[in-house]
Amino acid sequence: MVFLKRLLTLSFALSLAFVSCQSSPQGNLLNPNAFRSAMNDKKDEILLDVRTPGEFKEGYIKGAKNIDWNGPGFNEEVARLDKSKPVFVYCKGGGRSGAAVQALKGMGFKEVYDLKGGIMNWKSEGLPLQNEAESGLKGMNTKDYHKLLETDKLVLVDFYADWCSPCKKMEPFLKEIATEKADILDLQRINADKNTLIAQELNISGLPTILLYKNKKLVWSHLGYIGKDELLEKISTFN
């Protein structure tokens, strides 16, 4: 029963998302600084973090309430919120919050705002998080990262996360490219969630992020999904 309710809610959210692609929302998708300013301007706002509890513990925006979008109790917990209050929603990169925003609108919330690019974009702007100092940045450091670039080959770096749908879609053909171009190319896939230190140092603001290096120098970068043929064409220009 819970699964059916979640499926119906998601279907409704996706249908609304399609409509929103036809006409842009009325300023509800905000960049980090606009998102922060809007929160400061509102009274009795609700700040909703729709990531997993584990992600939330690693660092969250002050005042946020954590309700996992993928959790079984999302609908029930959100239904307890005051629909008359403005709601500000964010996740890691923007995908889950976008779906949650549409679902909230479908449930009768009138004023809902979405953080563009999620908490990764928030951090790239140097905005503060709670608990980040306690949890600590983790993973490889700059020295470790530069060791990956010590080769005569091109180096293709893929910053990804396990929850990122475009990342999962790209993974098979990235590995194909690594095999097909093994004589000229090294592929390095870096989990951004497990390597938060280097992700912050490189200002990785969204996923997937693709970086291409030649002779240890960054020659090309791309944020978001890119197809195999287009990626191969780009690689060939630097070969």
Q: Which residues are catalytic?
A: 164, 167
Residues 6+ apart with CB under 8 A from 101: 28, 89, 112, 113, 114
Q: Which of 113, 55, 120, 65 is nearest to 86 (CA)?
A: 113
Residues 6+ apart with CB under 8 A from 28: 101, 112, 113, 114
- Residue 112 φ then ψ, to 5°: -130, 135
Decide if 200 contacts 144 (C-beta within 8 A): no
Q: Which of 130, 126, 131, 96 is nearest to 114 (CA)?
A: 96
Instruction: Give CA–CA dist 198/9, Å, rounded.
Output: 37
What are the respective helix, strand and coil percentages of the chain, to the nearest 5? 45, 20, 40
Determine how β-strand 46-49 pairs with β-strand 87-90.
parallel
**CA 196 remoteness from chain centre:** 13
Q: How many residues does the chain have?
A: 239
Q: How far apart are the first and last CA of the chain?
A: 55
